[in-house]
Structure 1
Amino acid sequence: MAFPWLKGHGTENDFVLLPDHDGTIHGELDGAFVAALCDRRRGIGADGVMRVIRTSALGEESAGEWFMDYLNADGSVSEMCGNGIRVFALHLVQEGLADASEPLVVGTRDGDKVITFGSDRAAGAGTAISVDMGVPEVRGVSKVGAGGRTWEAHEVHTGNPHAIAFVERLSDAGALLTQPDYDQAVYPDGVNIEFVVREGAEHVAMRVHERGSGETRSCGTGACAVAVAAAVADHTPRPTTYRVDVPGGTVHVTWRADDHLILTGPAEIVARGDMEWIA
């Protein structure tokens, strides 16, 4: 099977993009194929795959022309990816499929997202891109465990489910080579787990273990969830903006007075090509 592909990342959360505008190249995107592509030893290597497809071709409901058909590194379907959608939007602009001077609507399994570009209209490497991530859901408290320790974890949904644990040091979570323990009754479909330290006023740092991908260098929906959990704990009035440091860089999350979250960070396309897949 021959097909075009691109590689991009947002704060080192990396993705393979598969242009398939009318859905005729990949058909039903196979999870095993996605997992093979994402394998860092036997494939291209990535935290997930995004198919660039028209909403009409996928049969989804969206006001946007384009739909982000996103799967995790293990081939499982994900509702949303905050870093990935910035890379997705950057690709559309660079290919002339969208205009950086206007808000861009992209369909996702978590509903439509509106993306805006910063003052750098050239949409080049490192361009700052903002995404309206919608309204978060702040729920209850459960437990997570890693490295032989257990912490209280705050449940926040920002498209994906998240369990946020505040720790003394990011190293307290250990190597994160395996899925941390969590309450499966609270999260029957799995959960992204963030370990967070405070760095200052409206400033936190985090590590994340993503369901279906393992520990990643960044997580956009996770950064949003962490900012919300920190703001709730700090009794910070809205609007407020939190700086969130991740191993791959920094993003900023604004929690507006209308409860919408705005995620702002860079995105880059780093490689492209045509592949004959023989695996």
Structure 2
Amino acid sequence: MTYEFLKGHGTENDFVLLPDHDGTVHGDLSAERVRALCDRRAGIGGDGVLRVIRTAAYAPQWVDQAEWFMDYRNADGSVSEMCGNGVRVFVRHLVDAGLATSPVPVATRAGIKVVTVEGDQITADMGPPRLLGSSEVSVGDRTWSARHVDMGNPHAVVFLAPGETLDPHGPVGPLLDPPVHDTAEYPHGVNVEFVVREGEHHVALRVHERGSGETRSCGTGACAVMVATAEADGAARDTPYAVDVPGGRLTVTWTSADRVLLAGPAVIVARGTASL
């Protein structure tokens, strides 16, 4: 059997999209199948899979609030609650295909996210953050304190000391293996962000995503980093922060209404048929 797929990315955080509008094409979407699709040598390649499915077919509890559900899976096949770059790519496809008009409410495992398209910029209202205390993260023989920020999925935000860099040969290494984290604090795993300051209201990060490894960008991670940084800075609400990721730049704003807005580009780069 062959089926349609698309490939898209948001600041080089890339995804395989599977249109399955009525839930009749891909069944239960097994972890093995997701891993095959995300394989960068034997498959299409991606940091995860976005199944495009109507809420009526997959999550009827959301049917009165959103027509579409983003069924997101990490590259290792595990189910994830939310993906900030993914939901922007998801809406880019819906709008380009004439399946929705902006603003678009999208049902996710972390609730309803409203996404607005303005030309090349796509903004996702990621909802309120939750700041949940501190923990520890280790890479090799180094251990750092981390700020626990939940953006619908868990993040451990680590601020590197002045003079430390994000270079792969520096203290955080190549991040090919998951950083060691506090399993009591994060029983279901955690995304870890290492952060350096680049200037006023401007930070840069590298990220290790649970289930995917190091990625070129992480939307919820950028939000978590901005929230932790703004808290540390005592910044006024509605102050936009530039958040540089290896794949580009995102703009994140924590509003006076306690919402986190994630803005940046999202594009569809390929489409075709597959038989994986």
TM over 0.5: yes
| Superposed CA RMSD | 0.8
1:144 corresponds to which residue? 137
Residue in 2 that maps onto 1:155 = 148
How far off is 1:73 after superposition? 0.2
Question: What pairs with 1:33-112 in structure 2 (closer than 5 Å)?
Answer: 33-62=33-62, 63-99=65-101, 102-112=102-112
Equivalent residue, structure 2, for 1:193? 192
Deviation track 1:60-116 (CA, whole Å, cap 9, x = no partner) reads: 4221100000000000000000000110000001111012xx311010000000011
Give aligned-pair identity as a percent. 63
Segments of 4+ in structure 1 off by > 6 A?
A: none
SS in 1 for 2:95: helix
Instruction: Give 1:15's aligned amino acid.
Output: F
Aligned partners of 1:224 and 1:85: how far apart in 2? 14
Deviations 1:206-261 (A, max 9, x none): 00000000000000000000000000111112121110000000000010001100
Report the residue type matching 1:153 in the other structure: A
Structure 2 match to 1:124: none
**Aligned residue in 1 for 2:229:** 230
Query: How many Å separate the matches in 2 of 1:18 and 1:83?
Result: 16
Kindly indicate whether the alpha-carbon contact (under 8 Å) linking 2:146 and 2:157 is maintained by their aligned counterparts in 1.
Answer: yes
Q: How does 1:160-239 map to 2 (within 5 A)?
A: 160-167=153-160, 168-171=164-167, 172-239=171-238
Contact 2:244 2:250 in 1 (8 A): yes
- What does residue 28 of structure 1 align with? 28
Equivalenced residue count is 268
Q: Does 1:8 align with 2:24?
A: no
- State the secondary structure of the residue aligned to 1:170: coil
Distance 1:217 1:251 in 2: 12
- 8 Å contact kept, 1:192–1:222: yes
Unaligned residue ranges in structure 2 (runs of 5+): none
Q: Is the 8 A contact 1:11 1:249 kept in 2?
A: yes
What code does the residue aligned with 1:67 have? F
Deviations 1:143-190 (A, max 9, x none): 101143111100000111000001121132101010101000000000
